[in-house]
Each structure stands twice: as structure tokens, then as C-alpha cells.
Amino acid sequence: MAPTSETANGGRRLVIVESPAKAKTIKGYLGPGYVVEASVGHIRDLPNGAAEVPAKYKGQPWARLGVNVDEGFQPLYVVNSDKKDQVRKLKELLADSDELFLATDEDREGEAIAWHLKEVLKPTVPVRRMVFHEITRDAIRAAVNNPRELNQLLVDAQETRRILDRLYGYEVSPVLWKKVMPRLSAGRVQSVATRLVVERERERIAFRSAEYWDLTGTFATVPEDGTFDARLASVAGRRVAQGRDFGPDGRLKNPDQVEHLSEESARALAAALAGTSFAVRSVESKPYRRSPYAPFRTTTLQQEASRKLGMGAKSTMQVAQRLYENGFITYMRTDSTTLSDTAVSAARAQVAQLYGADYVPDRPRVYASKVKNAQEAHEAIRPSGDRFRTPAETGLTGDQFRLYELIWKRTVASQMKDAVGQSVVVRVGGTAADGRDCEFSATGKVITFHGFLKAYVEGSDDPAAELDDRERRLPRVAEGDRLDARAMSVDGHATKPPARYTEATLVKELEEREIGRPSTYASIIGTILDRGYVFKKGTALVPSFLSFAVTNLLEQHFGRLVDYDFTAKMEDDLDRIATGDAQAVPWLRRFYFGDAIEGAGDVSVEAAGEASGDGGDHLAGLKELVTDLGAIDAREISSFPVGDGIVLRVGRYGPYVEGPAEPAAEGADTGEGGAAGQTGEGGTREAKRADVPADLPPDELTVELARELLAKPSGDFELGTDPATGHQIVARDGRYGPYVTEVLPEPEGAAKGGRGRTAKAGKGAAKPRTASLLKSMSLDSVTLDDALRLLALPRVVGTDPESGQEITAQNGRYGPYLKRGTDSRSLEREEQLFTVTLEEALRLYAQPKARGRAAAKPPLKELGDDPVTGRPVVVKDGRFGPYVTDGETNATLRRDDDPETITAERGYELLAEKRAKGPAKKTAKKAPAKKAAAKTAAKKSTAKSAAKKTTSKTAAKKSPAKKTSARKSSGPSDE
């Protein structure tokens, strides 16, 4: 590249990109005269909690939102605390530069990052917007020489989305905290995505299976003796019922139009067909043609990576990001299926080189985008450059190699000829012994020219589906040919409930409903998995019982916000704002305040009146909806009938089933209070409860299973009386595992009820002894002797004759150990707590103390070599639970990952996600406080603080805005 006038005269240009990896690649293409630095994503955003709100705004009623809803929805932006050092560095680099190039991604988010950089850095030198769709030498040089100005419409569109998502998340999430469970979140797209998964599970719960049977005949031609299978299609002119003929209730949709075969009738028909003469009644042949699939865009890449590579949407985008930043593919967040002329030429040349000129079509193929309001003018996702590198030429390994190969194959195949052939339908008929006419049908497909199928065959969401390159050859037959029936098999089938969503099918569903933006789907799915609304069972997305409660509340009291059509219309409105056809402030005012505000605007969100059920007369705004919470019955929205009086409830500590209340035994105490199983007002025994496993799919909770759970022993297991104290000893299953404890007698005058004074003791009162069960013990087998031994811990082993210190055996958080003063030594087995002698203890202390970590435990499972690092990957049991590791990177297993059944692909995916996050950030240690000054200050302030206590309490009640720090984790940063 010839140097421009600035570089020729010794000037320096500062180029700011988003990621360090991208900066490193681009720096190599620009050379001297350019400084390339990363912003590392967004440098500023809305405040994330009360601590980030500047002092001058803290008293404002809107400060907790970070958006001034009373003054044109002005956002309050603050520089992220972890980006202040980077901003300082960028300012220093800018001070020595003659020109600034903002080279962030060319989408709404990238445009917004560029705008924020300009606003924060306040450059006094010329500012250029540098855009490119691939990171190659030619593309980067062309981008430097052809800059443009910032697109303010894209910035406004991103800002409107950000404000909308903040209002939604920060206003609706606290409702979930109050009515369902703390630390939950709601979001414009995540809540709708969760509802989709929940509705599919509801369909599965309501589904009733139907049984149907059919016949498959094996026929042989005469005299060639070629055989083929054909399925029974009709009996006496009526089509034989198949799975599609049944409704979700298990009944036939049109019973008068089909023949429903039971096992008995199917076997009788097979017997009646024995010895029947069959002949070919018709042969229908027609041309088969299949055109190539369009090049990848964001969602189709995620779907195919899920089907073919077993990669989740989030992992796919992380790997694609690395491929893009290192110059292997074009930009991976795109709605477009268009290829540039350069890419088309490269693809056609490679087709000719690898497959021959016969596979190159006469004219380049052009693909029109099917995505409504495709937001940016990117290309499809393809290999970068004007000549595509084959996968073998890239030097890539692991997931990057596999994903690049997928993209490369799809791109090359998109510029190849159609696959052509013949499809054939053969109908075979005969008359059964009982006089009924029976007709069988067989289909075949022969591909005479594979065309693009030589390079690429698309996967299917249905594992049983036949792929495009599958051939089914039938022997040559003609109408009237006689056939021999070699065999007649009877086959039974049962209708299946609708399949659960996978990441691929959920992405597809969201896109087809035009909900959200394709570029955000990976983060949306990640959010609903992380929040515990959904967990994985294999590749299926299973809703948790918690998600049922959340969806129930949102549907009943915020129906418009999770209505599919309304959410899609909001997307249309946001696109109109992006194109300048609508204004952001009137739209936000109407969404937040409703139509009570004069001049609310005329965007299509008005149509939401129908979705909200208000007939369109009044559109309640978000503020009104979250203000009136009196109608929300927290118990009702978290309760779901199972059957026979059994109800599933979602509590603060997880799901449980509750059986119907039983009459109290004659003479039972009917005083108030008590735990489950005690008697309450009215002389009835409280309903029995039992925890439900958190990973139980909701459609598997039947009445029978609920009864089994309720039948299991629960509450206190009375073990007997401690002969030394006379106190009752019980075993319980607690929140942190099974334990034993003693029940202390109630002091005189204390209120009765409950489990006795075992959970909490009043100030100054004696506390009950408590001890966790050993790993070798269980609730149903622990004895009184076991409990007394546990409660006697710590056990005095003896006194060290040299130091005079007492040695005790104790059971701790990390297992059994000995303690002598501050010196601790681990024991190998739990039984040693009761058997270790002083002599054995002294021998243990005489050995040098092991430094650092204890001896490593053997791996739980070996998964194989990581495709990225080449290191062996194993599953281990760590301090915080099971995890996968390749010796360098550790990744904790998620809740739905079973250490015994986890696949190698899942392990590699977890490690890839962890590596993509980068090393954990170290928190700077705070300087120690000056004790002397602190003590003096404390003494001086004692009298003042005592006088201010009452005033502070009153003020705290009057200032709800000061509770904003709890919102730090509530509002999602995306949709």
C-alpha cells in the first residue's frame, strides 16, 4: 500500500478495535505509522448498581434505573470500573496521534462502541469510522483508505434497545424476587424464549400417546428375484392410519377417513394375506432436483454446528469470533446470505479445482436474504480472502478446524450445480382371504448427478430423518408385473410427544417468529441456562419447575410482555427507529407510561392493546404494571396440580410436592405452629411434603412418582434417648445434607410447637449439639450409637508429651483431621475419628507436614485429547464439585452435567467456553486500615451514632432508592 500523506509526513494514526486479538492481527497488516489498540468491548454503559451511580444523581427517583424517564429517557452513562485503566491508556495514545480511526464491528453494537469512544475520548484530531467485514491485508488497507462517518441512526437504534432492556429488566425482575425467588431476572427476549420452552413442556405433559399398527411386505420380482419392502397404504380403499392422523389427546382426528389397525387386527390381516397373489398396480416416476443451501448466516451456522458438531450456540459464536479475529472467516454476526463478487469467484474457482468444471454452474448463484429487516449490509459467513484456504491449509486444530471446515464446505457447495436424479413410487396390490383389497406402497430415489452433495449435505433436527444424499434403489418393475410376497411383518408404533427444543431448534423458532435479533440468540440461551430456567438433558432444553412459576406469573400479570406477536412487533418498531421512520422517545414513553401520556406516538406498539386483553381502549405502560402487585398471589402462581389432590409447589429452596391434608388423630394437639406433619388449626394434620429433584423433567412428574416421593420417610427420624442427658436424639435431612441433633426441652413459659429448640436458640440459651453424618452413613440406617459417637466429636485423643497440647480428632468441611493447637493433619478415613490412638497421632505429627494441596484424587473419567490443545482431558472431583481439565484450564460442570455420563464433546465445549473468557481477574487487595485512627474515630462517634440510630432507621424506610445495590445482578445486559 502506498503511504498516505499523513504517514508519509511522519504523522501517527490511532486505530481502536474491540478485542486484543483483532488488534494484534490488524497491526501486522498496517505496519509503521499506525498504533492499534483495543477498547476490550464497551468502555461505558448504564450503571450496574447503586455503587456506580454518580453522587450528584443518587437522590434522583430514576437513578436506580440509570435512565431519566421524566426527561426524554436520557441514559446515564458511566465508564465501567474495569475499563478505567484502558480508557486512560487510550487517552494517552490519542494525545500523541494525528488522526483517530474507530474500527469496531459494523453492526449496531459496534457503531455504539465507536460512538461511546468518541464521546469519552473527546478527540481534537480528525475522526474516521473504519469498517471491514474480514480481517485480511487487502480488506484492512481498503478500510483505511475508504473511511466513513459514524452512523447516528445505528447508534440511536442500539441506545433505544439498551434503554428498553434496562427498563424491562430493572422493573420486572424485582417482581420475580418478591413473588417467586430472589436473584431471578426477566428480559424482553429471554422471558419469551423461556416461555417457548415451557409451552413445549406443557404440550408434552398434556400429550396422550396412541398405539397403531401396520404391515410391511417384502416382495420379490418374477423372474429376476429382486426384492424390496413396501408398507401397507390402504385397506378396502381406506388409508391406513399413521402417527400424523392422531391428535395430542391420543384420538384420531378423522376416524371416518382412515383405517386404524390394532395389533389384533393387523395380525389377522397378515394371516389373511398369506398366499395372496400380488401385482404392480402403478409406477410413478418423476425427476428429482435439489438445489444447494444458501451460505451461512449467524443462525444457520449455529443450527448446523449444533447438529453436526454438537456445539452449543454460545460455543459456536466464541469459536467463530476467534476465526474472524485471526483472519480465517468474514464477520460472523450477519443476517445476510449474499456473497461478494470476490467470494463468488473464489468459490467457483475452488469447485473447478476440486471437483471439476462439470460441477460449476453456468452462472453464479445469488441468494436473497429471507430475514425480515436484515440489519446490516454484511456478507454471508464465508472463508476470508479472494482465494479460500482449504481446511488442510489453515493449520487449525480442534473446534476451530471443525467449524472452519463446516463454513468452507457450505460456501463452496453454494456455488455448485444442483443434484439431480429420479424419484419413484411403486404401488402393489392384492386381495386378502377375507375379500378386502390391500395396497402397499414403496418409494425410491436415485441420484444420477450428485452436484453440490459431493461437497456438503445439510443435517436434520430429526435424528430419524433421511438426509438429501440418501438413495433408496428399487428393482426395475412395470405396471402389471407379478410379485411374490416373501414375508409379511406386523409393526407396532406409538405416537410421540412433540420433541423438546434443542439450541438449534430454539434458535430456528425465535428467528421464524421474528423475536429478537439473531446476533443475540447465543447470549439469550446462555442466560436462561445460567439462571436455572432451563437445563440440558443430552442436547434437549428442559424447563425447570422454577421456569414454570416465572412463566406463570408473567403470563397472568404481564401477558403483553411475553406475547409472541407483541414482542415481534416491538422488533419491527426498533427497526423503524434504526431506519429513521420512527422516533425513539415517543415510542419509549408509550411503552413505559402507556397511552395515558399525551403525544405518545403512533408506532405499531399500539396494536399491543389486543395482546394485553384490554380491547385497545387503554394500553397500560410498564410502570403501571409493576406498581399494582396486590393481585399477584405468590402461592398460586407457584402451585401446579399433579393429580389426586397432590400439588407441586416452587419454594425458595426448590420444588416440592405437597399431599392433601389429613384429619388429625383423636386427641391430638391442635395448637398453632409446627412444621409439616404437625397439627394446626381446625384439628387437621398439615399436608405432607417431599422435595422434588431439581433435575427432574416436569413431564416425568406423574401422580405415581409424586406418591412415591411423599411415601419416603421425611421429617425427624427418632433414634432414641441419650442416656447421659435424657434428651431425644433425631436424624434429619437438612438443607446441607443429613445430620443428627438433640432436641432440647422447651424452657418454662416458652411457646410450644415446631421441632423444639434445635434450629435456633435464643440469646443466652443452650444450643443443641449437631453433627453431620459421615459419608458412609445414611438417614435410614444411622443408629443411636452412631449418633452419640458423632455428637461426642471432637474426641480427645490425648496430650502431646512434648508440648503439653491436647490432640483432638475432628470432622471438618474437607474431611476428618487431627488438631493440635493450630497445627492440623488430615486423616485418611472417617473411621479414624473414633479409632485413632495417641501413638498413631504422634507418628503422624512426627512426619513433615505436606505443603500446598493434598495428594490429587484420581480422575473420575477420561474423555480423550482436547482438539484445541491436544492435552488429555479428564473429569475430576474438586473442592467445589466435579470439573473438567486439560491440565491447564479447569471448567466446572454445570448442574445438568453428570460426571459419569458427560461426553467428550461436552467436556471440550466447557473448556472452550472457559478459555474464551480468559484468565480470572485478580482483585486488588485493599490497603490495611489504620487501626489507631479507626479506634479513636470509633470512640468519638459512639455517642453520635447512638443518637442517630432512630433517625437512620426512619430514613432507611423512606428511601427505597438506596436498595439499588441489590439490583446489580437483576437487569440483563442484553435481551
**In 3-state terms, what secondary structure has residue 740?**
strand
How many other C-beta atoms can be found within 10 angstroms of the C-beta atom of residue 942?
10
Domain with CATH 1.10.290.10 in the chain: 303-415
Shortest CA distance to 683 belongs to which of 674, 694, 671? 671
Predicted confidence at residue 975, as pLDDT, reads: 55
Cα–Cα distance for residue pair 361/417, rounded to 1 Å: 5
- What is the per-residue pLDDT for 348? 96
**What's the pLDDT at 964?**
34
State the fold for domain 160-205+531-627. Topoisomerase I; domain 2 (1.10.460)
Please say whether the beta carbons of 484 and 430 come within 8 A.
no
Going from the C-alpha of 583 to that of each of 65, 111, 392, 578, the distances in angstroms are: 21, 19, 51, 9
Q: Report d(CA 187, CA 554) in Å as an integer.
A: 11
Helix axes 313-325, 503-512, angle to 10 degrees: 80
Note the pLDDT of residue 916: 67
Cis peptide before 848 (omega within 30 of 0): no
H-helix or E-strand spanning residue 154: helix 152-179
Judge whether 151 and 141 are in contact, CB under 8 Å.
no
CATH superfamily of 303-415: Topoisomerase I, domain 4 (1.10.290.10)
pLDDT at residue number 505 = 93
Q: Closest Cα partner for 94 from 124, 116, 68, 64?
A: 124
Q: Which CATH architecture has domain 5-43+80-150?
A: 3-Layer(aba) Sandwich (3.40)
Question: In whole angstroms, what is the distance from residue 753 CA to residue 570 CA?
Answer: 54
The CATH label, of 3.30.1310.10, 2.70.20.10, 3.40.50.2300, 3.40.50.970, for the domain at 211-291+420-494 is 2.70.20.10
Catalytic residue among 324, 331, 592, 883: 331
Hey, how many other C-beta atoms are within 10 angstroms of the C-beta on 632?
Answer: 16
User: Is residue 689 classed exposed, middle or buried when 0-12, 13-18 and 19+ CB atoms within 10 A define those classes?
Assistant: buried
Residues 861, 752: Cα–Cα separation, whole Å:
52
CATH 2.70.20.10 intervals, the chain: 211-291+420-494
pLDDT tens across 17-76, in order?
A: 998 888 988 998 998 899 999 998 899 999 988 889 999 998 899 999 999 999 999 999
- Decide if 864 contacts 888 (C-beta within 8 A): no
Q: Are strands 728-734 and 737-743 parallel, antiparallel or unpaired?
A: antiparallel
Q: Is 631 helix (H, G, I), strand (E, B) or coil?
A: coil
Residue range(s) occupied by CATH 1.10.460.10 in the chain: 160-205+531-627
Question: To which residue does cell 383423636 refer?
Answer: 666
Specify the amino acid at residue 333: R
> Roughly what angle, to the nearest 10 degrees, separates helices 341-355 and 398-413?
90
Whether 34 is a known active-site residue: answer no
- Residue-level pLDDT at 869: 76
What is the three-state SS of 772-814?
ECCCCCCCCCCCHHHHHHHHCCCEEEEECCCCCCEEEEEEECC
pLDDT at residue 897 in the model: 76
Q: Are the C-beta atoms of residues 53 and 67 closer than 8 Å to each other?
A: no
> Which residues are CB-contacts of 111 (< 8 A; sequence separation ≥ 6)?
104, 150, 151, 154, 155, 158
Report the C-alpha gap between 427 and 483 in whole angstroms.
11
Answering whether pTM is above 0.75, one says: no
CA angle 117, 123, 124 (to 5 degrees): 165
- The DSSP result for 34-85, as a single string, is EEEEE--S-SEES-SSGGGS-GGGTTSTTTTTTEETTTTTEE--EE-GGGHH
Dihedral sign, Cα of residue 152, residue 158, residue 162, residue 165: positive
Contacts with 61 (C-beta within 8 Å, 6 or more apart), sequence order: 961
Q: Rounded CA gap, 385 and 133, in Å?
A: 10
> What are the tens digits of pLDDT across the range 376-414?
457 899 999 999 999 999 999 999 999 999 999 999 999
Tell me which amino acid residue 307 is.
R
Q: Give ranges for CATH 3.40.50.140 in the chain.
A: 5-43+80-150
Whether the Cβ atoms of residue 100 and residue 38 lie closer than 8 Å to each other: no
Those residues of the chain that have pLDDT short of 70 are 1-10, 369-377, 461-469, 596-618, 661-687, 713-716, 735-736, 746-765, 850-858, 879, 895-896, 916-975
